[in-house]
Structure 1
Amino acid sequence: MDALLKLSALLSALLLAAQLSVAPATAQPTSNETAPLGIALEGFAYPYPVFYLERMRDGERQRLAYMDVPAQGQANGRTVLLLHGRNFPSSYWQPVIQALTRTGYRVLAPDQLGFGKSAKPVGPYTFDAMSADTVALLDSLGLARVDVVAHSMGGMLAVRLVRNAPTRVNSLVLEAPIGLEDYRFTVPPVSDATLLRLEGDATAESYRRQLMTNYALSLPASAVEPFVSLRERVKGSGEYPRWLQSFVNSYQAIWGQPVVHEIPLIQVPTLFIMGENDHNAPGKPFAPEALRAGMGHNAEHARTLAGQMPSGRAVVLPGIGHLVHMEATDQFNTLTLEFLDGH
């Protein structure tokens, strides 16, 4: 009897220990907005459910995160693909998603590999690979053709997407795209080591100032606080060095893989929506001082390029910077919907 009691006590202790050992893994994500985040933004809520597509990159299994939001009310049978910028997760598209779905569009908003809730590759980025990932996502969902709305770096990806897979894109909206000039002509190569040091040294204040100043935002500083907070919180992850390397790799792609020379070759109807005050030009601080003033004339570049395209048009919004869909939400949504509905 004593042996049975001892065995029972031992089994109870082992069961309790096992329960305690799994508790941290099954705990709910913290609601503390200053707590560290995983580099795939684990614990940070997106406005719509997030799904994943398995991909291979750098010899590793990767997961591409995306939101797939159905149309509200009467669906029009069309899907809009939203392509985010370098400094932003796809969650920042929420006001655009709301406007599109209300008017019958299905919306697909992925985080490219290296961004947001997607895995973080450590090898070099290419817009061709990102384009292939995007086509694979469309294939997985049975989407033969989509309309594309792309912001900032997403505009460079959109150019490569429509060039590599022209039958998959019906029309194109480029919101404050970068890559409207070839940065190699003004900015010398910058080593990964230098970029890792500079990005690693960035503080919340310096990053906040970078967003507000480089993007010439008409928004209050509080509007960029969620992006500043995300960047600060991933510093607490054990995989932060991987996030940092991945982020640096995206700069090298922007600098070394220009798309401006391909823009006049785009055949699909294209609308540029530009902020008049947006003079953002990646790598500008590294350029010789004599050349900096000639960089980032984005509204002017958009007008020129639109005029060289078979079906291009540029609209420039006065007093607006780089985050057009957040700075002038109603104007942006109206322009986008009128353009999409017309094609």
Structure 2
Amino acid sequence: MLGLDAFAADAVNAGAAPASNAPADDGPAYGPELQGFNYPAPVRQFEFTSQGEALHMAYMDIAPEHPNGRTVVLLHGKNFCGATWESTIERLSTAGYRVIAPDQIGFCKSSKPRRYQFSFQQLARNTHALLESIGVKNATIVGHSTGGMLAIRYALMYPAQTQQLVLVNPIGLEDWKAKGVPSLSVDQWYERELKTTADGIRRYEQATYYSGQWRSDFEPWVQMLAGMYRGPGKKEVAWDSALLYDMIYTQPVVYELGLLKMPTLLLIGQKDTTAIGKDAAAPEVRAKIGHYPELGKSAAKAIPHATLVEFAELGHAPQMQDPAAFHKALLDGLAAVSVKN
């Protein structure tokens, strides 16, 4: 999660008006593993050992009524959880796809280790181990936001098990460090995260995720995040979030896009301006990062077998802002690729 400073600064930079007149931090409190927040399907736990620590990885496994023989794995973003794929899970399942939606270690209903070397390679290994444990040998990998960075890393590490790659407004399509965004220490990220409130989240999401729009159906996802910072595990959640931001900043994937061999579908909301650490950068640096119309096109050019679909009026979360348009593009893109199980 972004801390309040980052949420608020990015909202101001985007010129967002307040999303609502709701109190700054009013709402429910959830446990450090999102205890008390309901998911759209039964949550299971994959228990495993990693880096010498016993961990558990939450996931949903939704079987379709009329299977088409394909499996889709949905990888959530930094300020998202498996639950935020709710409408996508329903549409894919109705269309015959088995759907797996995990919460990565450090997020949501999964373990929050205090000492863990977070890397996209490690998260990809964890995800692969989960899929092996439930008998999934091949799948279409869909990644949104930070989940897009993870999906790319997964596809590079496990190309034979990745039938198709779908990237939804992925971050990591540019190297913020190389472009001049200053480094923040884990301790600095942690202090920022401790300031997280619902109001800061709401303002940031309105500006960046929903291109200035706000609807009541966006509010549960604000409360999902803010609730963990109201609960007894606030410090655990903030610490893991800080570690994850350091991972994102230091491990860009843009340099390896040309190595992707599988069919890749890019679904890009054009109003997105996401760039990690943008609020800490100088004005001249902020002006040249987070331009998704350019980033989507450059990624499509770099990836050998890419198809680009652009949503002119949508932001960072097209699957939530305009589910009908997004799911049509997703289902059409999945149907266009013939895969072997």
Letter in 2 for 1:92: T
Instruction: Work out whether 1:195 is the aligned partner of 2:189.
Output: yes
Letter in 2 for 1:342: A
Letter in 1 for 2:125: A
Question: What is aligned with 2:39?
Answer: 46
- The partner residue of 1:238 within 225, 229, 232 is 232
Looking at CA atoms only, which structure, 1 or 2, has the larger radius of gyration? 1
Deviation at 1:203, TM superposition (A): 2.3
Letter in 1 for 2:120: F
Deviation at 1:218, TM superposition (A): 5.0
- Matches of 2:273 and 2:89 in 1, distance apart? 26
Deviation at 1:277, TM superposition (A): 0.5
Structure 1's 149 and 61: CA in aligned 2 closer, same or farther, altered over 3 A?
same
1:178–1:281: 8 Å Cα contact kept in structure 2? Answer: yes
The C-alpha deviation readout for 1:142-165, integer Å capped at 9, x for no partner, is 111001111000000001000011
- The partner residue of 1:289 within 247, 270, 283 is 283
- The partner residue of 1:107 within 92, 99, 105 is 99
Deviation at 1:262, TM superposition (A): 0.9
Letter in 1 for 2:72: V
Deviation at 1:239, TM superposition (A): 2.5
- Matches of 1:35 and 1:220 in 2, distance apart? 20
Letter in 1 for 2:137: A
- Matches of 2:171 and 2:84 in 1, distance apart? 18
Deviation at 1:299, TM superposition (A): 2.4
Instruction: Work out whether 1:93 is the aligned partner of 2:85.
Output: yes
1:1-343 correspondence to structure 2 within 5 Å: 34-72=27-65, 74-122=66-114, 123-185=116-178, 186-343=180-337
2:187–2:242: 8 Å Cα contact kept in structure 1? Answer: no
The C-alpha deviation readout for 1:173-226, integer Å capped at 9, x for no partner, is 111111110111121210122211112122221221122123353541533322
Describe the SS at the equivalent of 2:128.
helix
- Matches of 1:238 and 1:55 in 2, distance apart? 25
- Matches of 2:165 and 2:185 in 1, distance apart? 34
- Matches of 2:269 and 2:28 in 1, distance apart? 35
**TM-score, normalised relative to structure 2:** 0.87
The C-alpha deviation readout for 1:219-266, integer Å capped at 9, x for no partner, is 415333222222332234332211110011111111000101111210
Question: What is aligned with 2:20?
Answer: none
Question: What is aligned with 2:21?
Answer: none
Relative contact order, CA 8 A, sep 6+: which one is greater? 2
Structure 2, unpaired ranges of 5+ = 1-25
- Matches of 2:133 and 2:306 in 1, distance apart? 30
Describe the SS at the equivalent of 2:37.
coil
Letter in 2 for 1:84: H
The C-alpha deviation readout for 1:259-304, integer Å capped at 9, x for no partner, is 0111121010111111111111111112222111100112211112
2:196–2:229: 8 Å Cα contact kept in structure 1? Answer: no
**TM-score, normalised relative to structure 1:** 0.87
Describe the SS at the equivalent of 2:177.
helix
- Matches of 2:328 and 2:112 in 1, distance apart? 35
- Matches of 1:213 and 1:339 in 2, distance apart? 28
Letter in 2 for 1:114: G
Letter in 1 for 2:250: G
Please report the RMSD computed on the Cα atoms of aligned residues, expressed in angstroms.
1.5
- Matches of 2:83 and 2:211 in 1, distance apart? 19
* Larger displacement relative to structure 2 (220-229 or 96-105): 220-229
1:264–1:306: 8 Å Cα contact kept in structure 2? Answer: no
The C-alpha deviation readout for 1:92-139, integer Å capped at 9, x for no partner, is 111111111111110000001111111112223100000000100110
- Matches of 2:181 and 2:32 in 1, distance apart? 30
Letter in 1 for 2:274: N
Question: What is aligned with 1:10?
Answer: none
- Matches of 1:216 and 1:292 in 2, distance apart? 20
Structure 1, unpaired ranges of 5+ = 1-32
Letter in 1 for 2:170: P
- Matches of 1:216 and 1:285 in 2, distance apart? 19
Describe the SS at the equivalent of 2:194.
helix
